[in-house]
Structure 1
Amino acid sequence: MCCSVGFARSLGLALLPLALCCILANLLLLFPMGETTYIQNNQLASYILYFGGLGGGGLLMLVPAVVFITLGKCNCCWNDSLMMCGSVLAAIIGLVGSGYCFLISGLALFQGPQCFNNRWSYPFEGQGGRYLLQPETWSQCLQPVHIIEWNVTLLCILLGSAVLEFIICLLQLGNGLINAVCRPCCYKQEYSLNA
């Protein structure tokens, strides 16, 4: 039996909270400990300003989420195979968005935060992320307070969300390709959802 439109809808519903989580995590990264002075003074890590969570894992991920959820609900002249091809394109957009979120979050994690210790700098840059395994070195960042814990927690949330989004979009890519190719020979009836 070929994969169903219901499966795509459930994947879309799973993408929504992940996208919102990425948006929230990225917004929190912009305001360490709820303070606005660091973004106003350009004292945030450079990769955070690339908006991997807000753009890639968040807003861009809303495109496949909405397409997957509304799949089959449109009473237009498109046939089922064409709708599944549209879901494949939306899944590719999701793969790009989640990949961007993962890449930017990983680079920000390896770079480490910009913090104050006699001057504003990146004290952990060039260490390849080794500082993550050495929490005793984190105290050299005096401002923002607890910036390493703040960044590590939120960037790990972004990384995890991006991986889940990537898997979900990959599943729908396979689902859409199989249905676009096999649907004409696999199904003789149309879908109907009854509440």
Structure 2
Amino acid sequence: MCFGKCAKCIGSLLLALAILCIVANILLYFPNGETQYASNNQLSRYVWYFEGIVGAGVLMLIPAFVFIGLEDDTCCGCCGNESCGRSCAMLSSILAAIIGVAGSAYCVIVSAFGLVQGPYCLANNQWTYPFQNNTGSYLTEYSTWSQCAEPKNVVVWNVTLFSILLGLSGIQLILCLIQIINGLIGGLCGCCCEEKTQSYAC
């Protein structure tokens, strides 16, 4: 089934992206590989929202595994008709895709806020958010990054990882939206493609 193959492709991509998002979110807790800042609660508040671990990570595993299993899923052969069963399975995948949209959108929003606010760091001998009032303009004003004395290189650390989370979850969002369209068309049309005559590109 051509729509099922596309869903499987999307599911595999989502699985890989989810793992990367989890890793990126975990790294945010350990600037420069140091653990004391997490234990002392000296990290940006948006690090604690678990956007990469939960939103774009664990929650994304649901649609990923559903999509991967769609190619061979016949929904028990709806009414004894295998083709109908596959259409049923494709339509049901839309619900999983909506979960994926919610999880990835959450990660996109939180990551964007994290980038705009900037890191929580030691600046002028006090722990604060030195960039929170410049609406993200610090991202291109590299000379101001030295304001953060501790954790060392925390601005680069936060900007890099939040940007990675933003980009990866944005891709997840697009893939889930594609699967909504794929599932809708595949469910309504119930079309099957012969492997020797037609391939469905993802």
Q: Give unpaired runs (5+ residues) of structure 2.
A: 79-84, 195-202
Please list the CA deviations of residues 86-110 of structure 1 after superposition, one character each: whole Å capped at 9, or x if unmatched: 2111111111111000000000000
Residue type of the partner of 2:134?
A: Q
Secondary structure at the counterpart of residue 113 of structure 1: coil
- Give the match for residue 150 of structure 1: 157
CA contact (8 A) 2:73 2:89 kept: no
State the distance in 2 between where 1:133 and 1:146 align.
15
Query: Which residue of 145, 148, 154 maps to 1:141?
Result: 148
State the distance in 1 between where 2:54 and 2:133 align.
26
State the distance in 2 between where 1:22 and 1:40 align.
22
- Give the match for residue 200 of structure 2: none
CA contact (8 A) 2:55 2:106 kept: yes
| Ranges of 4+ aligned residues in structure 1 off by more than 4 Å | none
Q: Does 1:97 align with 2:103?
A: yes
How does 1:13-92 map onto structure 2 within 5 Å? Answer: 13-74=12-73, 77=76, 78=78, 79-92=85-98
Secondary structure at the counterpart of residue 123 of structure 1: coil
Residue type of the partner of 1:106?
A: A
User: Percent identity among equivalent residues?
Assistant: 49
State the distance in 1 between where 2:36 and 2:65 align.
36
Please list the CA deviations of residues 43-89 of structure 1 after superposition, one character each: whole Å capped at 9, or x if unmatched: 10001100111111111111111000011434652511221122111
Residue type of the partner of 2:19?
A: L
Query: Which residue of 117, 134, 138 maps to 1:127?
Result: 134
CA contact (8 A) 1:56 1:97 kept: yes
State the distance in 2 between where 1:106 and 1:140 align.
21
CA contact (8 A) 1:91 1:172 kept: yes
Q: Does 1:168 align with 2:168?
A: no
Secondary structure at the counterpart of residue 116 of structure 1: strand
User: TM-score under structure 2 normalisation?
Assistant: 0.87
User: TM-score under structure 1 normalisation?
Assistant: 0.90
- Please, what is the CA RMSD of the aligned residues? 1.7
Change (3 A) 1:34 1:106: same
Q: Give unpaired runs (5+ residues) of structure 1.
A: 190-195
